[in-house]
Amino acid sequence: MITVFPARRGPGPLQATALALAAVAAAIDQAAKVLARARLETAVDLTPFLALRLGFNPGVTFGLFADAGAAGRWALSGVTLLIIGALLAWIWRTRSPLTAAAAGLLVGGASGNLIDRLRFGAVTDFIDLHWGDAHWPTFNLADAAIVCGVGLLLLTARGVNGEASSPIPGRSAL
């Protein structure tokens, strides 16, 4: 008896678009960081609340784990790779364009910061939002992609009419 296995489905247009979005987000982030490292010797005030100021974060959000040293760097890199892998699996399985775009932005942002962490031991930050002397921690375009990806995921958790979406079509999660 011959057993016929269905052909393995490759990535469709939705997955290709999400992966392209991830690649573009990471590439733009890396290009901006190259410019920041090359040209930002001193801070540049763009508006009363926005400046470009070069900084390096060896930790994660808000400088957490910044004092962890080389072991922390590799641990953070490993965790980031696991997260990227999980997000890629999600992209592979989703049928939702919004979820695919969100995961693509998350992969692109995480990849952009991972590249910095592996190359330089710290993530390059250069965007400084502030109000007077109150400064938000500096960030970069990878961080912005991650925030936008999370925002899109939050939108997918709610239906268009404001009800929570359900994994079962036609049923409300409430």
Residues involved in catalysis: 125, 143
- Cross-strand bridge partners of residue 124: 56
Contact 99, 143 (CB under 8 A): no
Selection from 91, 111, 89 nearest residue 101 by Cα: 91
> Which uninterrupted H or E stretch holds 56?
strand 50-57
CA 17 to chain CA centroid, nearest Å: 16
Helix axes 13-39, 97-120, angle to 10 degrees: 40
With tokens 């490292």, the residue in question is 37
Extract the runs of DSSP E, i.e. beta strands, from 4-133.
44-47, 50-57, 123-131
Q: Which residues contact 97 (CB under 8 A, 6 or more apart)?
A: 14, 17
Q: Give the C-alpha separation, 164 to 172, whole Å.
A: 7
Q: Are 127 and 140 in contact (CB under 8 A)?
A: yes
